[in-house]
Amino acid sequence: MTMEPVITMKTKNLINNTGFESTAIKDSGLGSTAHLPPIFATSTFVYESPEEIMKVFKNEKEAYIYTRWDNPTVNFVEEKIAALATLNSDIKGKTLLFASGMAAISSLIDTVVHPGDTVLAQSNIYGGSVELFDLLMKEKGVKVEYLDMHDLETLENRTQTASLIYIESPSNPTINAYDIQQICSIAHQSNCKVAIDNTLSTPYLQRPLQLGVDFELHSTTKYLNGHGTALGGAMVTTDNNFYEKCWNYRKLHGGVCSPFDAWLLNNGLKTLAIRMEKHCDNSELIVEFLNKRKEVTQVNYLSLKDKKDHKIAEKQMYRYGGVLSFELKGGIRAGIDLMKNIRFCTLTSTLGTPDTLINHPASMTHVKVNEEQKLRFGITDGLIRMSVGLEDVNDIIADLGQALDSIS
């Protein structure tokens, strides 16, 4: 029996506009009879004739050329993420996968921002993003201004001379929410673009493209993969011209996602919905526990109705996520004591894995952010961030309880 070749020409993913769980789970469109998408572990692709390859390189025929450019496994997962980000809407998105979340962010910035431009960035964002803005962007001649994105009047005044607004909502690690729709409305009046890091929410809890955002970013290393098994980053947009430019940056900079990491990412996406529900369930119970502890002066989580950002989050999120933070009464000494006495939870700097992860931002993820900026936006010496896992919540609470008891 003669078998058809697996794939030479690019094929389209056949995902329809089904429910979130169905879209995340179903695999189709790779031109293969395999139940699950294969890993195309190849650096390059072959052609039947010189005439065919000439057409490909002249863009007269669509085909795969080289995995640094495109790869069937990677493309398949890109299309699935775009489908999830635009689910139940009329908009059409396109995704680029990268080797890491920072590769996605830096490629976006390189594509959109030019020497002499101004970026308006939220102050309480991931420390790696702050380092990128403060070091590489300033060296490139880009002006970066940090703003409180709650202050929409100041934002409107500053947007008139800016090319990009960069936000996180919820923010990492202070868990603030910002009005995405309002920010986009202000930006677009001045032809300014808006990018959001949506890593903490994922498209299951929040879909920023449907709120007007131009560029949606993810560290797929976190919840989208969900198991801590691979690095990755994603950028999703509805702007075809930008997509083509950013694709070229990725091709030339070389920060591409490997086929194997894309395959692992696809496996993670299949359980994203059920994992996020459990992350949220456990987080809400832990927040309830922490609010009763005398060692804790403040808990940051968007389900709390007395928090100023609750109504914003309620408007644009389905649920409130698996990351929370809390402030210890004893400052940095209390933070160090807690870290020393954790037994069940894992002390590490990442988030979004099945196990509960805990860290101290002031001495870990945000250690290179300047002190004035940290304090002005709530990243204090006593702040603890938790990525709440999928374990039995009673075990997580018991560990937190004994560690809090140990604080002198």
pLDDT of residue 2: 35
> Model confidence at 126, in pLDDT bands (50, 70, 90)?
confident
Last residue of a domain, one of 225, 246, 269: 269
Calculate mean pLDDT across residues 306-323.
Answer: 96
**Statement to judge: residues 253 and 324 lie in one domain:** no
Same domain? For 73 and 191 the reply is yes
Given this model, what pLDDT does residue 236 score?
98
| Same domain assignment for residues 325 and 216 | no
258: which DSSP letter?
A: P
Nearest-angstrom CA–CA distance, 374 and 127:
10
Average the pLDDT over 93-103 and give the result. Answer: 97
- Cα distances (angstroms) measured from residue 47 to each of 20, 50, 362: 37, 8, 54
Number of domains making up the chain: 2
Is residue 220 a part of any domain in this protein?
Answer: yes
What's the pLDDT band for 30 if we cut at 50, 70, 90?
A: low
Residue 69 has pLDDT above 70, yes or no: yes
250 plus 303 within the same structural domain: no
Q: Are residues 123 and 250 in the same domain?
A: yes
Q: Are residues 237 and 126 in the same domain?
A: yes
Distance CA 297, CA 284 (A): 17
pLDDT higher than 70, residue 397: yes
Place of tokens 């490139």: 140
Domain span including residue 164:
20-269
More reliable by pLDDT, 363 or 198: 198
Torsion region of 191: left, alpha or beta (phi above 0 gives left; psi -120 to 50 gives alpha)? left
Specify whether 121 is located in the same domain as 157: yes
Among the three residues 244, 269, 294, which one is the final residue of a domain in this structure?
Answer: 269
- Judged against a pLDDT cut of 90, whether residue 240 lies above it is answered with yes
Whether 2 is in a domain gets the answer no
Confidence category of residue 112, pLDDT binned at 50, 70, 90: very high
- Give the up-direction half-sphere exposure of residue 186: CA atoms within 13 A in the CB hemisphere: 22
Q: Which of 55-64, 91-100, 281-290 has the lowest mean pLDDT?
A: 55-64
Q: Are residues 71 and 156 in the same domain?
A: yes
Decide if 138 is inside a domain: yes
| C-alpha span between 245 and 215 (Å, rounded) | 13
pLDDT value at residue 364:
65
Same domain, 156 and 293: no
pLDDT over 70 (residue 17): no
CATH number of 355's domain: 3.90.1150.10
Predicted pLDDT at 377:
65
Q: Are residues 244 and 373 in the same domain?
A: no
Please count the other Cβ atoms lying within 10 Å of the Cβ belonging to residue 196: 26
pLDDT: is 330 or 228 the higher one? 228
Which of 269, 300, 318 is the last residue in one of the domains? 269
378 and 249 assigned to the same domain: no
